[in-house]
Amino acid sequence: MRSTPPLRDRELVGMLADEPELLAIADAFVETQREKHRRIRPLRGWKPLVLVAAIIVSLAGAGVGIAAGVGAFQSPAMYTAGQVQDAFASEGIQLQDVTPSNYNGALVMLDGRPAHAVYVYVEIRSCKCALLPPISNADNTHHGNVDVLYDPSETAAVDAALAKLN
């Protein structure tokens, strides 16, 4: 019986479908291990799949922050774009909706620039969106279905605004 490489396993790919960063990490890890095993011994059986699954669980459990980006971590709390805009406005940060029309209601993008280096993603429904960070060297935080990228100088205002969403 021929073994299926871990990232060609439909169940594993399905589990990681909403987390492209973890999928990329797992894929890269499997590739490096595959080359290492070719030099040492042939790749066999279910052990590589278990290894990849263990790594993914470790990354997800111990370092959710490693997988920065939209949808990397979700709690049950769901907020509307209006609630997020109101919370940030109460801290003096006006967020403008800059969502491209091709996101079809899956994701709302809110931008506080140029006055404030704050960029917010509000995930309305599951979105397999590949997004580049709009702010370089930004800190990133997650709160429910809200992901915030911000300049470290905005930390206090971002924390206060997110606390108002509770």
| pLDDT (0 to 100) of residue 125 | 81
pLDDT average, residue stretch 64-71: 42
| Residue ranges making up the domain that contains 123 | 81-163
pLDDT of residue 60: 55
Whether 38 maps to a domain, the answer reads yes
**What average pLDDT does the chain have?**
74
Position 137 pLDDT exceeds 60: yes
How many contiguous H segments (helices) and E segments (strands) does the chain have?
A: 5, 5
Q: What is the pLDDT of residue 63?
A: 44
Q: In which residue are the tokens 């960070």 written?
A: 133
Q: What is the mean pLDDT of residues 115-141?
A: 82
User: Do 108 and 134 lie in a common domain?
Assistant: yes
Asked whether the whole model's pTM tops 0.75, one would answer no
Do both 61 and 98 map to the same domain?
Answer: no
Higher confidence at residue 104 or residue 160? 160
Q: Is residue 75 part of a domain?
A: no
Provide the pLDDT confidence category of residue 65 given band limits of 50, 70 and 90.
very low
- Residue 93: which pLDDT band, with cuts at 50, 70 and 90? very high
Instruction: Tell me the DSSP string of 12-35.
Output: HHHHTTT-HHHHHHHHHHHHHHHH
Tokens of 39: 């030099």
- Given this model, what pLDDT does residue 40 score? 53
Same domain, yes or no, for 117 and 154? Answer: yes
Number of domains in the chain: 2
Tell me the mean pLDDT in the region 117-130: 83
Share of the chain above pLDDT 90, in %: 30
20 CB-near residues (< 8 Å, 6+ apart): 69, 128, 130
Do 62 and 37 belong together in one domain? yes
User: Is the pLDDT assigned to residue 4 strictly greater than 80?
Assistant: no
pLDDT tens readout for residues 19-64: 767 667 776 766 666 555 555 555 556 566 666 666 666 555 544 4
